[in-house]
Amino acid sequence: MPQEPALRNIEEEHHHRKSALRWPEFTPQNVLVLVLLLVLVVAAVYILKPSWFKSVGVNPKETKQDQKEQVKSSGYSAVFMTNNQVYFGKLSDSNTPLPKLREVYYLRVDRPLQPPPATESAQPDVQLVKLGNELHGPVDEIQFNRDQILYIEELKSDSRIVKAIEEFKKRK
């Protein structure tokens, strides 16, 4: 029995659509290309949006807040510079090109002018100095060039520096 022309056209169109939606075969070569494309996409996303990957590898039960509570941070940081200076204070904008330090302190080492006799060892006098008391009268804030910072440490609340800062504040 011959098919009607309209029905034959519908079947041919359906067969043509079916062949157009055909998936490629999963040969080892195609799988390798697919894996390489996936790796390239993940690498591109990692380069363009690294913040999306910051939580990878962190214990989900332990948040950053939990980690900070264990350390008992004082809120003070030590900023070590390329010129061997160290500044202490409250750090902000640490991820910018120009981080800021407020409530700034630094160490001043006074060495005796006369060398000590051979029987005595000269211990330098180390003092914690509050920024702002210098002759030129700077404000109590430093803005650093990020390239001049070697590293930054967060100070614990039982740090000798933090205790000295607290003593300095009490005397004021």
How many domains are contained in the chain?
A: 2
Residue 99: domain span: 64-111+124-171
In the prediction, which pLDDT does 68 show?
Answer: 47
- Are 123 and 109 in contact, with CB atoms under 8 Å apart? no
Asked if 93 contacts 100 with a C-beta cutoff of 8 angstroms, the reply is yes
Same-domain status, 46 and 96: no
Q: Bridge-partner residues for 152, per DSSP? A: 79
Considering the domain architecture, whether residues 30 and 98 belong to the same structural domain is answered as no
Task: Report whether 144 contacts 131 (CB < 8 A).
Answer: no
- What span, in angstroms and rounded, lies between the C-alpha atoms of 128 and 161? 8
CA 131 – CA 99 distance, rounded (Å): 17
pLDDT of residue 7: 57
Q: Kindly state the DSSP code that residue 147 receives in the 8-state scheme.
A: G
- pLDDT reported for residue 160: 92
Shared domain check, 104 and 27: no
Predicted pLDDT at 109 = 84
* pLDDT one-digit tens code per residue, 83-107: 999 999 999 988 889 999 999 999 9
How high is the pLDDT of residue 34? Answer: 86
Residue 34 lies in a domain: yes
Per-residue model confidence (pLDDT) at position 67: 47
**Residues 69, 35 share a domain:** no
**Does the predicted model carry a pTM greater than 0.75?**
no
Task: Say what the pLDDT of residue 74 is.
Answer: 77
Phi first, then psi: give them for residue 69, nearest 5 degrees: -65, -35
All residue ranges of the chain with pLDDT < 70 are 1-24, 53-72, 116, 118-122
